[in-house]
């Protein structure tokens, strides 16, 4: 899965994966071209993040609760995806191209973890 991406993306994936695991009670599984993170046992209700790789960036999809979700840096913009990974909540995406972005990315991912089953 990582063979064709830039070295910077490989480093970002490794660091972010480790940060997500540190949240606790996280299961992660490769699903074809995607890498999915679940709160506890893998299911459609427990998935809270999915990695999609491009050559120069890591794209992260998260589940959000429209009432409580805050993205002051507007990484996710206004686009809401139609339930590709998440059957509940709103599905949003952001890109990471630098290690400096990991702290804010974890804030967004933590929101998704907190609202997942």
Kindly state the percentage of the chain with pLDDT values over 90.
78
- CATH classification of the domain holding 75: 3.90.1150
Cβ–Cβ contacts within 10 Å for residue 6, how many?
15
User: Could you tell me if residue 47 is inside a domain?
Assistant: yes
| Structural domain for 17, as ranges | 7-115
Q: Two tokens at 109?
A: 């991912």
In terms of average pLDDT, the best of 28-32, 92-96, 113-117 is 92-96
Quickly tell me which residue has 């893998």 as its tokens: 42
pTM: 0.93
Q: What is the CA radius of gyration of the chain?
A: 13
Backbone angles phi, psi at 37, to 5 degrees: -120, 135
pLDDT tens-place string over residues 3-59: 788 999 999 999 999 999 999 999 999 888 899 999 999 998 899 999 999 999 999
In a domain, 60, yes or no: yes
Mean pLDDT of 87-103: 94
| 1: in domain | no
């Amino acid at each position: 899965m990582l063979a064709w991406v830039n070295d910077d993306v490989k480093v970002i994936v490794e660091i972010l994966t480790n940060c997500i695991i540190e949240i606790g009670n996280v299961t992660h599984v490769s699903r074809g071209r995607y890498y999915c993170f679940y709160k506890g046992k893998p299911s459609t209700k427990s998935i809270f993040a999915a990695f999609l790789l491009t050559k120069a960036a890591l794209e992260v999809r998260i589940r959000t609760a429209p009432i409580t979700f805050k993205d002051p840096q507007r990484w996710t913009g206004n686009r809401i995806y139609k339930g590709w990974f998440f059957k509940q909540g709103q599905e949003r995406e952001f890109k990471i191209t630098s290690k400096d972005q990991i702290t804010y990315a974890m804030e967004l991912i933590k929101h998704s973890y907190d609202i997942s089953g």
